[in-house]
Chain A
Amino acid sequence: MAKQSRRDFLKTSAIIGSAAAGLSSSTKAAPKNVLSEDRMGVLVDTTVCIGCRKCEWACKTAHNLATDPIETYEDRTVFKEQRRPNDKALTVVNEYPNTTSDKFPINVKVQCMHCDKPACVSACIVGAFSKNENGSVIWDGDKCIGCRYCMVACPFQIPAFEFEEALKPDIKKCDFCIERTSKDKLPACVEMCPVEAITYGRREDLLKVAKDRIKNYPHRYVNRIFGEHEVGGTSWLYLSSRQFEEIAFPKLGNDPAPGVSEAIQHGIFAYFVPPVALYALLGGVMWLNKNKKNHETDTEN
């Protein structure tokens, strides 16, 4: 260490530098996540939903999850408490009182929102999540290492982890019925819904439909489509007769869900310039100090 020449130092620094540059170019390549103009979405009209929970049954059936027989879903006592999607149910319906008419409680179906700029996609350490062309945000079980950072990142608290599974736990969340839609079928919940409170279509078209409904029935809806702008837009859109925060939607801004974390991340790693610069700076300081030391010892001798 002590007997090292300046030439060695420069040589090795150069190698490290070029290696870092190569590294940065390869991370920039292969943009996997796309935001297609024709991406699909689902419009949930909570003023139409009757809380029959058939979507829950359809979802479980389509995803081969254990489910009670369909008649049991008519039990409305489950609404007494707020439920959340978990590893055993990818979608659930909750109920909130309607202040204007007690006969028409507000039912809200909850599932993954399939964000346009998903926090999970940004966060996942191995890129197991991806935003697909059809708008879906899909989890890849072959990549996942089970770190649960997606759960930390998700602003809607959606990804669920199989905590009881010892060795191969999955992350479970609504997958937009990717298997069904790829076969030109509707998502299971959309197909099942008796009142068509959930409409599947191009996100653009759905926004238009939603805006028309608000325009035609201004007394029926609050003038807002949840998911149009929230966290940078989501594939699932909601209409409601009450303010969304009153029916347990999270209070979120319009900035993309990954927030400033990506900006910070890309700032620190802007083409690997800051780390390489720091490396060079520290190298310089080290070299100067060493020279000073050598000089001192030289003069002493």
Chain B
Amino acid sequence: MKTKLLIFLFALPLFVFSQNKVEKLHQTQALNCKTCHSCDIPTKENPCIKPCPRERLITIEQTPSDAPSILTIDKMKKTSDIYAPVVFSHRLHAEMADMGGGCRMCHHYNPPGEVVGCADCHELTRKRTDLSKPDLKGAYHQQCMNCHRQWSGKVECESCHAQNGSAKKTESKPKTDLAAKQVHQKVNPPELVKYDTPKANGKIVSFNHTDHVSTFSIDCEKCHSNESCNKCHAKYKPASLANRSVADKHVICANCHNTKANCSDCHKNSVVGSFNHKTRTGFDIAKNHAKLTCNRCHVEKGKFAGLKADCSICHGTWTKENFKHLITGLQLDETHADFECTDCHQDKNYANPTCKNCHEDKTYPKDKPGKLVKKSK
């Protein structure tokens, strides 16, 4: 009894601390315990980790250049095999995957540390007790065929394998060289895509790619997940948009936009240029707010209206004590520096000061209450 208690006392802090450490690491990710663990209280001895839940886990992204350029997949090779091992242009595929989900597209279980290879989890032998995940051969083929089927619509073995004992076997050497050199060219993202829609009123939807990437800083993979090569390399024309249902057409936009209402927000009668906060809302963000992400001001997700150019919503009430006017590029002279802000700025947006309260003959910006200096932060 005593010893048990002792052990317990010693073990308790260990247990608690290890838990804490894990939590810290996991807390940065929005993860649910049940995503990875099958039991309620996982312990170090029995972590009861689920076999590859294939959900978004902690994952590391590496650049394609970190990856090996070619791999010869010969782990399953047997002398009796009909087909020769595949020479896999890994880097090329990594570059292609970059346009989709990155490494994760294939390395679906990819925790921090060294990248987990296929053979690390998938067993070599098909006759096995754990049937929850396919064996290595099955895993490779499932992974490859998923894209290749879409790409060519064909499943013939010889598009990847040489047949053993056939003349094609000799080609495997040059194929290695070729695979090593292959790279995917840099993809130039479009600036603006114009969609002609069948909508009677508001035929044109202008999709400004640059805006979405740089102005709104949306991650590529938020839209481009599970992208197929066909998107660009249309060997077979992808199913035309016209054939898809309304919901299908809007599926990606609907991630952020409310596509069920306010059609006219996107469906216009002419092409719309890139997003300009000033022309769109009347509030010029170019001057002082250019570097902020949208959600610094538009805090509520998906809601953009209602700020009404009221500085106090974000900044609180400005007084002559807490606001250094110098920051605007105009250093107030001594007289004006003593006034309360509202003496001149009567609008909530502090944009156009009025001089009428004191001077009858002066107007801004012709006359200035100080001297212009170079803007500072």
Contact = CB atoms under 8 A, between A and B. Distances in A.
Direct contact of A and B (CB under 8 A): yes
Given A50-B155, A52-B157, A191-B126, A206 B145 contact: no
Nearest to A53: B155
B141 A196 contact: yes
Given A194-B141, A195-B145, A196-B126, A102 B239 contact: yes
A217 to B, nearest CB: 8
Contact of A103 (B127, B131, B153): B153
A104 interface: yes
A200 B129 CA distance: 10
B54 interface: yes
Contacts of A194: 137-138, 141, 157
A216 interface: yes
Contacts of B353: none
Contacts of B135: 196
Nearest to B228: A103
B131 A205 contact: yes
Contact of A195 (B129, B141, B150, B153): B141
A234 interface: no
A216 B53 contact: yes
A70 interface: yes
B149 interface: yes
B288 interface: no
Contacts of A216: 53-54
A190 interface: yes
Counting chain B residues whose Cβ lies within 8 A of the other chain, the interface size class is 20 to 34
Interface string B137-167: 1110110010001100111111000010000
Interface in B151-200: 153-158, 163
A209 B131 contact: yes
A52 B137 CA distance: 15
B155 A196 contact: no
Given A48-B142, A74-B157, A216-B53, A196 B127 contact: no
Given A50-B155, A74-B157, A104-B149, A193 B131 contact: no
Nearest to B139: A196
B202 interface: no
A29 to B, nearest CB: 37
Contacts of A209: 131-132
Contacts of B155: 50-52, 74
B156 to A, nearest CB: 4
Contacts of B127: 184-186, 200
Contacts of B53: 216
B145 A50 contact: yes
Q: Which of B138, B149, B153, B155 lies at the interface centre, i.e. has the most chain A CB atoms within 10 A of its CB?
A: B155
Nearest to A107: B155
A127 interface: no
A255 interface: no
Contacts of A184: 127
A104 B138 CA distance: 17
B79 to A, nearest CB: 16
A298 to B, nearest CB: 84
A94 interface: no
Interface string A184-223: 1110001101111101110001100100100010000000
A294 B308 CA distance: 121
B369 interface: no
Contacts of B157: 52, 74, 194
B246 interface: no
Interface string B218-244: 000000000000000000000100000
Nearest to B135: A196
A140 to B, nearest CB: 27
Q: Which of B142, B150, B154 lies at the interface centre, i.e. has the most chain A CB atoms within 10 A of its CB?
A: B142
A70 B82 contact: yes
Given A199-B134, A216-B53, 11 more contacts: A74-B154, A74-B158, A103-B150, A104-B149, A186-B127, A193-B138, A194-B157, A195-B138, A196-B126, A196-B137, A209-B131
25 contacts: A43-B131, A50-B155, A74-B156, A74-B158, A104-B149, A184-B127, A185-B127, A186-B126, A186-B127, A190-B126, A191-B126, A194-B138, A194-B141, A195-B138, A195-B145, A196-B134, A196-B135, A196-B137, A196-B142, A199-B134, A200-B127, A201-B129, A209-B131, A209-B132, A216-B54
